[in-house]
Amino acid sequence: MEARSRDSKYHVILFPFMSKGHTFPLLDLARLLLRRPDFIVTVFTTSGNHSFIANSLSDTTAFIIDLPFPQNIPQIPAGVESTDQLPSMSLFAPFALSTKLMQPDFEKAIETLPPVSFMVSDGFLWWTLDSAIKFGFPRLVSYGMCIYSSCLYKAVAERRLLFGPESDDELITLPQFPWIKVTRNDFDSPFTDSEPSGPLFELNMASLIAAINSYGTIINSFYELEATFADHWNKESGNKAWCVGPLCLVDAPRAQREPHEKPTWIKWLDQKLQQGRSVLYVAFGSQVDISPQQLKEIAIGLKESRVSFLWVTRAKELELGGEFELEERIGDRGIVVREWVDQREILMHKSVSGFLSHCGWNSVLESICAGVPILAWPMMAEQPLNARMVAEEIRVGLRVETCNGSVRGFVKREGLKKMVEELMEGEIGKEVRKNVEEYGELARKAMEVGGGSSWRTLDTLVNDLTCADRGTR
């Protein structure tokens, strides 16, 4: 690093949280920063996550530093260094809180580096603010969320709006955004606890306090997608939000692969394209446990729909039983993939024209950028709010129908079949398809080098952060 740093003016540290959904945007940010002259980027991670990050950045000049992950943490199995390896998401808070034990090693590593211009670290690594203050450089926060969801969290928390309704499904109007209605079921603990306590509350409070005292928040979104909420946040919050995305557009389009290099599912999508068949992509992320009963309804609902589909499922969901021998029952109309896939490549495939998604923010952005409408089925965290944004605010998708109308209700095969066919073939599906294609074009313009809104925002942020540094050189 020393040879490179002698010729470079600015050094940026990126420290993603040990979760794939939190890591991907910061790796894309690394690429974006390295497009600018005079920048070096150092990415911090752990030994267990090194190969994933190294492979992702293998074609860049980014430096990677491994820190030892804390050992002998109660409830956390040995060797688990990423949230997708946790036996249950109930262990998320203990896992995240344990990362504070990495702070001494982190600071020792910083002492060996060239001077740092600024750092972007995940919000759940709240303790990195103390290190930034100690070494005298600005720290920015990344949560991997959109501003819409952040504004809604802030709105209900400040006025304690979740504690008035008698029912978890009663609609609540937000005074700050009177056209928006939410329910208690759109939120998880500790937001729904009248007197919150425990590890998750402790983690959230530490993260919030650190975020407020940081320089600002990096938002993987673009201004044109949520201008109302960006303006509101930057007017009402002390922690400025900087829209620099969609970061998934930083990667150059994948070069056309030779037929023998294509994975099975891409060859299958090529066949559907040749046949003139539109495909529904189905994926629910890597961190949600879906009950066997719900999996059965998904399988039968997809089988009974008239659409072709590609369903990516996790290893722990494979023991489906005899009635779930889906491939034998659907023939060539569907394919079930039980390994890691390049989701961006699938969404960009010309045969894919719908996405049944849990509405993780990365997935929402990737779908918008590909011009693919979404059938929203939120599962956890801020996903219900993302789903409201998708279906109600920007209207780039529809919602699945639950049997009792609740956000967290069970989805039966008939309801799933109905909404899949509406998205892929119905009149409302055509409307949201038109909307998502328009937003996809705006996303590409936002990321245009030199003139796009996100590029200009990042320019402004970098100039603000480095102007003092330039003045001393």
The 3-class SS string of the chain reads CHHHHHCCCEEEEEECCCCHHHHHHHHHHHHHHHCCCCEEEEEEEEHHHHHHHHHHCCCCCCEEEEECCCCCCCCCCCCCCCHHHCCCHHHHHHHHHHHHHHHHHHHHHHHCCCCCCEEEEECCCCCHHHHHHHHCCCEEEECCCCHHHHHHHHHHHHCCHHHCCCCCCCCEEECCEEEEEECHHHCCCCCCCCCCCCHHHHHHHHHHHHHHCCCEEEECCCHHHCHHHHHHHHHHCCCCEEECCCHHHCCCCCCCCCHHHCCHHHHHHHHHHHHCCCEEEEECCCCCCCCHHHHHHHHHHHHHCCCEEEEECCHHHCCCCHHHCHHHHHHHHEEEECCCCCHHHHHHCCCEEEEEECCCHHHHHHHHHHCCCEEECCCCCCHHHHHHHHHHHCCCEEECCCCCCCCCCCCCHHHHHHHHHHHHHCHHHHHHHHHHHHHHHHHHHHCCCCCCHHHHHHHHHHHHHHHHHHHCC
CATH homologous superfamily of 2-152+194-250+447-471 equals Glycogen Phosphorylase B; (3.40.50.2000)
Per-residue pLDDT at 326: 54
pLDDT at 137: 96
- Residue 17: predicted pLDDT: 96
Topology agreement, domain 2-152+194-250+447-471 and domain 259-443:
yes
| pTM, to two decimals | 0.92
- The residue extents of the domains of the chain are 2-152+194-250+447-471, 259-443
Q: pLDDT tens per residue, the chain (473 residues)? A: 554 444 568 999 999 999 988 999 999 999 999 988 889 999 999 999 999 999 999 999 999 999 999 999 988 999 999 998 888 888 999 999 999 999 999 999 999 999 999 999 999 999 999 999 999 999 999 999 999 999 999 999 988 999 988 899 999 999 999 999 999 999 998 888 888 889 999 999 999 999 999 999 999 999 999 999 999 999 998 789 999 999 999 975 555 666 667 888 899 999 999 999 999 999 998 777 788 899 989 999 998 998 999 999 874 444 444 444 555 456 678 898 888 889 999 999 999 999 999 999 999 999 999 999 999 999 988 999 999 999 999 999 999 999 888 888 899 999 999 999 999 999 999 999 999 999 999 999 999 998 999 999 999 999 999 875 544 33
Q: Quick one: pLDDT at residue 472?
A: 37
Could you confirm whether domain 259-443 is CATH 3.40.50.2000? Answer: yes
